[in-house]
Amino acid sequence: MASNEIKNVRNIGISAHIDSGKTTLTERILFLTKRIHRIHEVRGKDGVGATMDSMELEKERGITIASAATYCTWKNHEINIIDTPGHVDFTIEVERALRVMDGSVLVLCGVGGVQSQSITVDQQMKRYNVPCIAFINKCDRSGANPERVVNQLREKLGHNPVVLQMPVGLESEHQGVIDLTTMKALYFEDEFGQEVREDEIPAALADEAQSRREEMLDAASMFSDELTEAILEEETIAPELIRTAIRQGVQNRGLTPVMMGSAYKNKGIQPLLDGFCYYLPSPVDVENHALDIEDNEEKVTLRPDNTAPLVALAFKLEDTSYGQLTYIRVYQGRMEKSQTMINVRTGKKIKVGRIVRMHANKMEEVEAIPAGFIGALFGIDCASGDTFVTPGINISMSSMYVPDPVISLSVKPKDHKSEANMSKALNRFVKEDPTFTTGYNEETGETLISGMGELHLEIYLERMRREYSCEIATGEPRVAYRETITSRADFDYTHKKQTGGAGQFGRVAGYMEPAEEQWFEFDNKVTGGNIPTHYIPACEKGFVESMKKGPWMKYPVTGVRMVLTDGASHSVDSSEMAFQAAARGAFQEAYKKAGPVLLEPVMKVVVETPGEFFGNIMSSLNQRRGMILGSHDEGATSTIEAHVPLAEMFGYATVLRSLTQGKAQFTMEFHAYKGVPRSIVEEIAKKRDSK
C-alpha cells in the first residue's frame, strides 16, 4: 500500500461517559457507510441489540462491556473504529483502545455535558497524546444545551473548543445543523437521515451563524499563516483552507473541533464522518516510537511504510472457540500469512497463520495487515502488550498503563465439575483483562478474584455461570487495603542459626523510610565489602518478600524505601538464604517503629439527582465518611461530587434507588489511597479476625 493510501486511513476510538450514545453513534456510522443494512438499537425491542454489543450480557443490560473493533469506508477513506465501554469498571478497554488509536471522538451528552467519565477518558487521551473531535449528541432531548457543553469543555477539561456547527433548533425542534465552514444549513431527510439536503441558513439564525464563523476563523487562524493572510485581506475563504488550519490544530492538540447532532434521530452523522476525514490524523501524521532494547532503550521513530521491517503491537486478547484471537496494530512494515516474526518479550519465533479483520464478533479473512492498520491473528501464544518484529530487529513498543484492582471477592465452586470449569474461566479472564487478577488465600483455602469495582466482578461471575456452567458461591466483597509507614526507622538485625554442619549467618543494618512516589525502592550504601556483592540481591529479595504481607495488619505494604548501610558475613555460614532471612527479620524489626498506617481506596463519587432529593443524598454520603467536594445545579438536576472510601460504597446503588424513588444515578471511580482513621482500623481488624 502506497503512503498516499495510508494517508486515507483513520484509526479512531469512540469514547464517552455512560449513556452518552457511543454505541448508538457507531451503529449509525456503520449503517450510513453500508457496513450493516439494518439499524439495531442498544436496548432494541427486537431483542437483537446493537451490532457492536455482541455479548449477551451487553444486549441485556444495554451497556458496552468489551471494546469492539470494526471498519468501514467513507469517501475513499478507510476508517477503523473501536467502540469502548463508558463504565469506569471497564476502563482498561478504553486504555488499550486509545493506546493504538491515532485519533478519537469524545461523545458528550447535550443534556448531561462533561460528566465524571468524560474527565477520565480525557485524561487517558492526554496520556497517549491522542487528538480528538467532540461530538455533542442528543440535541433532540429535552434540556439540551450545546452552548453549556462547549463551556464545560473549556472549563472542566481545559480544551480549546472550536465550534464548527450550530444546531437548527433544539429539543423537539431539532431539525439539522449549520456548517460554519461552508455557511450552509444541512437537513437529514427520510427515516434514517440518509439524504442530506443542503439549504440556505434560516434568516433568524444568519447573524448568529456569521458571528460564530468569525470566532471559528479567529481560532483556526492561529494554526495557519495562509488563513490569517486571507482573513486580513478580506478574501473569500475556501472551506479547504479552514479545514487544513483546523486539522493542524487538532494534530497538535491545540484545538478541539465541536460538532453536534442526534445519533438516535439520525441527524449530523454524515458531517461527523466528513470530520473524521478532514480533521483526524492518519497513521502517516502521527509519530510513534519504540524502544531500542540493545541501545539503552533509546527511542526509535517508526515509519508507517510497508517496505520497512515489521513492528506490531498485540493490544487485546480474546479466547474464542477457534483458539486465542490476538488484536494487532501494525505500526511499521506489513504482516503477511506464513511470515516468520519474533515475539520480543519471549524471543520466540512465530509463524503467522490466519489473519482476519474484525467487524464486532464477525471476522473476514485477509492475506495481510498493512502498515497503519488494525487486524487480528489466530493461534498466536502471547500476552497483551507484546511486540512482534521482523527477525534481527530488537525494539519494543512501550506497554499501556494498567491500574491496580481495588476490590476482591472470594469465590468457591459448588461441585467438582464447576471447580474444573472455574479454573478454565479464571485462566482465560486473567489473560484477557490485565485489571482482573486472581489469588489464593492459604489460611481460608479460598480463591480470591480482584477487579476495578462491583460491576466488573459481577460481570465476570455472570460470564462464568453462562459460558462455563459454573455453580459458584461468593463471599462478601473485600476492599484492597494497603499498609505503609510514616517515619524513618533504623534496623540492625543478625540472623544466626546453628544446626549441625554449616549454620546460617547474615547481618544487615540500615534504615527504612517512606517512599511517596513508588511502591518500593532499594538503595545499597554498603561499603568496604561488609556484605559481599553477590548477597545484595538476596537482601533486596528478602525485603520485597516482606512487603507482600505487612507485619501489622497482614495487608500488602507499599511506599517503602529500604537503605542498606552496613552488615557482616561469615566465610562458611553465610548464604543467600541467610541474608534473605536477615532482611525479613530487619524489615519486621524496623516496621513496627516506623509508624505503620492502614491505607484504603477512596473513590470519586458523582451523584446526579433531582433537586428535591439533594439533602437526603448529602446526608447519605456524609454517613459513609464522604468528603463533599462540591455541588452544582443544571436546571432541575443537582450534581454532587464527593470522595468516599470504597468500603462504605458497597450496596449504595440500592440505597440511592430507595432514597430517590429510582430517579438518581451515580458513577464511581478510583481516586487515591488514603489513611484510615484509627477507630475504623480497629473495626476492620475485628471483622478480619472474625472471618
State which H helix or E strand residue 197 sits in: strand 195-199
- Residue range 128-153: average pLDDT? 91
Residue pLDDT, tens place only, 574-632: 899 999 999 999 999 999 999 999 999 998 888 888 888 999 999 999 999 999 999 88
Task: Give the integer Cα–Cα distance in Å for 217 and 557.
Answer: 55
C-alpha cell at 364: 473476514
Task: Give the integer Cα–Cα distance in Å for 578 and 570.
Answer: 10
Q: What pLDDT is attached to residue 54?
A: 45
pLDDT for residue 554 is more than 50 = yes
The partner residues of 103 in beta bridges, in order of sequence, read 12
Which string of DSSP letters, residue by residue, matches 247-312?
A: HHHHHTTS-EEEEE-BTTTTBSHHHHHHHHHHHSPPTTTS--EEEETTTTTEEEE----TTSPPEE
Alpha helices in 637-677 (DSSP H): 652-660
Q: What pLDDT is attached to residue 63?
A: 52
Q: Which of the two residues, 688 and 574, has the higher pLDDT score?
A: 574
pLDDT bucket at 304, cuts 50 / 70 / 90 = confident
Q: What pLDDT is attached to residue 296?
A: 63
Cβ proximity of 513 and 562 under 8 Å: no
- The CATH code that applies to domain 486-595 is 3.30.230.10
Cβ proximity of 470 and 535 under 8 Å: no
Q: What pLDDT is attached to residue 294?
A: 74
pLDDT bucket at 68, cuts 50 / 70 / 90 = low
**121-125, 174-178, 453-457 — most confident range:** 174-178
State which H helix or E strand residue 393 sits in: none
Residue pLDDT, tens place only, 275-287: 999 999 999 888 8
Cβ proximity of 572 and 631 under 8 Å: no
Q: Who contacts 147 (Cβ-Cβ below 8 Å, separation ≥6)?
A: none
Cβ proximity of 79 and 276 under 8 Å: yes
CA 38 to chain centre: 31
Q: What is the largest CA-CA distance in the chain?
A: 102
Q: What pLDDT is attached to residue 55?
A: 52
Please provide the average confidence, as pLDDT, over all residues in the chain. Answer: 85
Residue carrying C-alpha cell 482482573: 436
- Residue range 521-540: average pLDDT? 91
C-alpha cell at 325: 484471537
Cβ proximity of 256 and 159 under 8 Å: yes
Q: Which CATH number fits domain 599-690: 3.40.50.720, 3.40.1170.60, 3.30.70.240, 3.40.50.300?
A: 3.30.70.240
pLDDT bucket at 1, cuts 50 / 70 / 90 = very low
Nearest to 32 by CA among 260, 188, 199: 188
Nearest to 91 by CA among 304, 404, 368, 308: 404
Residue 619: φ, ψ to 5°: -65, -40
Residue pLDDT, tens place only, 163-205: 999 999 988 899 999 999 999 999 998 888 888 899 999 999 9
pLDDT for residue 234 is more than 60 = yes
Residue pLDDT, tens place only, 328-345: 899 999 999 989 999 988
Q: What pLDDT is attached to residue 273?
A: 93
Is domain 407-480 classified as CATH 3.40.50.300?
no
Q: What does the domain layout of the chain look like in residue ranges? A: 3-279, 289-396, 407-480, 486-595, 599-690
Q: Who contacts 187 (Cβ-Cβ below 8 Å, separation ≥6)?
A: 168, 175, 176, 196, 197, 199
Residue pLDDT, tens place only, 240-277: 999 999 999 999 889 999 999 999 899 999 999 999 99
**115-119, 416-420, 447-451, 619-623 — most confident range:** 619-623
Question: At what angle are helices 239-251 and 203-220 packed, to 10 degrees?
Answer: 50
- The CATH code that applies to domain 289-396 is 2.40.30.10
Q: Which CATH number fits domain 3-279: 3.40.50.300, 1.10.10.10, 3.40.630.180, 3.40.470.10?
A: 3.40.50.300
Task: Give the integer Cα–Cα distance in Å for 105 and 564.
Answer: 51
Classify residue 156 as exposed, middle or buried by CB count within 10 Å of its CB (0-12, 13-18, 19+). middle
C-alpha cell at 248: 493542524
Q: Parallel, antiparallel, or unpaired: how do β-strands 560-568 and 520-524 relate?
A: parallel
State the CB neighbour count (10 A cutoff) for residue 449.
Answer: 25
pLDDT for residue 346 is more than 80 = yes
What does DSSP assign to residue 63?
S
pLDDT for residue 47 is more than 60 = no
pLDDT for residue 53 is more than 50 = no
Cβ proximity of 664 and 608 under 8 Å: yes
pLDDT bucket at 42, cuts 50 / 70 / 90 = low
Cβ proximity of 371 and 321 under 8 Å: no
What is the reported pTM? 0.73
Task: Give the integer Cα–Cα distance in Å for 546 and 78.
Answer: 53
Q: What pLDDT is attached to residue 43?
A: 47
**409-413, 515-519, 561-565 — most confident range:** 561-565
Question: At what angle are helices 269-279 and 22-32 packed, to 10 degrees?
Answer: 90
Asked whether this chain's domains 407-480 and 599-690 adopt the same fold, the reply is yes
Q: What pLDDT is attached to residue 624?
A: 92
Residue pLDDT, tens place only, 478-497: 888 999 999 999 999 999 98
Q: Parallel, antiparallel, or unpaired: how do β-strands 9-16 and 77-83 relate?
A: parallel
